[in-house]
Amino acid sequence: MSFRTDEVEIKCAVCGGTSSQTVVAEFDPDTSVPDLDMRPNGEHRSYLKYWVSECPHCGYCNASIEIPVLFTKEFLESEKYKNTGCSGLAEKFMKMSLVCEKNKVYEEAMKACLYAAWYYDDENDDEKAAECRRAALKIFDLHKQEFKDKPDFMLLAADLMRRSGDFERVIRDYKDRLFPSRLIMALAAFEAELAEKGDSSCHKADEANGVVLK
């Protein structure tokens, strides 16, 4: 068993409607080496679809539709929310990102875009995956003050830049940059090294020099 799900009746925090939602009840620890953007292996990525829920009544998307919001139902009816430019599971994650940004939960907004990119990675749609990564970077850039003391998100931004083809920015912002953690410094140096090679492909975290993950 890598994970187990349950069906739970949940009341929507936006419209008050109740619906049956599939939630992950338990899962085995992931001991695999993640990608540089922390994407897990295929087995643990298989329940990515349960990381976002959607209310069938109003379209509210979030990690759980019972999470309170700082906006009214009208936001869910806006053109921006209805037309994310994505499809399938990625559409739900991009809507979740918009919701989290409205709720001023910028870390989750950024991660939701990343999860949308992972969906397109598995669909082998590099163009749409890069588009979602750029959306995550836009959140990072708009709310830099929220991330300035969070080196893990600073490092994530480097991978988002590189995977979406902005090699010059990775080199400029991360080559020889100091971080409080040796691990993050090693990973940042690896991102800059890959950027110098014009490499936008997926890499495992333990490919970086001096990084050993168990």
| Extents of the domains making up the chain | 3-148, 149-214
pLDDT number for residue 64: 97
Percent of the chain whose predicted confidence (pLDDT) is above 90: 84
Write the pLDDT tens digit of every residue in 63-117: 999 999 999 999 999 999 999 999 999 999 999 999 999 999 999 999 999 999 9
Average pLDDT over residues 163-171: 98
pLDDT greater than 90 at residue 42: no
- Residue-level pLDDT at 214: 57
Q: Using a cut of 0.85, tell me whether the model's pTM lies above it.
A: yes
Query: Beta partners for 6?
Result: 23
pLDDT at position 47:
83
> What's the confidence (pLDDT) of residue 165?
98
Q: Nearest to residue 137, comparing CAs of 116, 155, 108, 161?
A: 161
Of 159, 152, 79, nearest to 118 by C-alpha is 159
- Res 50: pLDDT: 94
Average pLDDT over residues 35-60: 91
Amino acid 31: pLDDT: 72
Compute the distance between CA of residue 79 and CA of residue 76 in angstroms, rounded to an integer. 8
pLDDT score for 213: 67
- CA dist., res. 123 & res. 143, Å (int): 30
CA R_g for the chain: 18
**Mean pLDDT in residue range 16-32:** 87
What phi-psi label fits residue 165: left (phi over 0), alpha (psi between -120 and 50 degrees) or beta? left
